[in-house]
Amino acid sequence: MLDQIVFIAGVTVLGVLEQAYFSLQVIYARRKFSVSPPSTSGPPGFERVYRAQANCSEYFPLFITILWVSGVFFSQGLSSICGLLYIYGRYLYFKGYAKSAHGRLAPLYFSAKVLWVLIGFSALGILGFLCRSYLGLDVVQLASAA
């Protein structure tokens, strides 16, 4: 059982570590630019780091959720690889956004594409499972026979 989720679990831990790293960067930026809580506004250099972490936090639950559905219903291996790519894309997003607002765009498009792939995998996995279980059709087998 656990061997079917262990790699996704590993990618999940890496994702949590990355979020922890982003949070620490916000704490350092608060010190560097003297922006004390509860304030969240300050010089652009601070606001970009603050927003980069906020944006990654906002997408984190979407990422983890779809990573697991895709990993359980479609393929653990492919989902884990996508997961690593997403985490890497978010790292580039954070670094890029911290430098300039424009720097966030390319990595954002990249990580959004990876997310769409995971959404596609999840949909395929669930539909394939429903076809097999309730219609007795093995779509993958049909496709390779055709």
Ligand X SMILES: N[C@@H](CCC(=O)N[C@@H](CS)C(=O)NCC(=O)O)C(=O)O
What are the residue numbers of the active site? 31, 104
Q: Which of 81, 126, 131, 139 binds a second copy (CB under 8 A)?
A: 126
Burial class (CB in 10 A: 0-12, 13-18, 19+), 94: buried
**Quick one: which H or E segment has residue 126?**
helix 105-130
Residue by residue, what is the 3-state secondary structure of 43-88? CHHHHHHHHHHHHHHHHHHHHHHHHHHHHHHCCHHHHHHHHHHHHH
Handedness of CA 113, 84, 107, 69 (dihedral sign): positive
Give which of a second copy, ligand X, none residue 142 binds (C-beta under 5 to 8 Å, depending on kind).
none
Least distance between a second copy and beta carbon 146 (Å)? 25
Q: Using the rule CB under 8 A, is 119 a contact of a second copy? A: yes
Q: Using the rule CB under 8 A, is 57 a contact of a second copy? A: yes
Task: Give the C-alpha separation, 128 to 115, whole Å.
Answer: 20
The residues binding a second copy (CB under 8 A) are: 2-3, 5-6, 9-10, 12-13, 15-17, 19-20, 23, 36-40, 44, 47-48, 50-51, 54, 57-58, 60-62, 64-66, 69, 72-73, 97, 101, 104, 115, 119, 122-123, 126, 129-130, 133
By CB under 6 A, name the binding residues for ligand X. Answer: 23, 26-27, 30, 37-38, 40, 50-51, 53, 55, 58, 104, 108
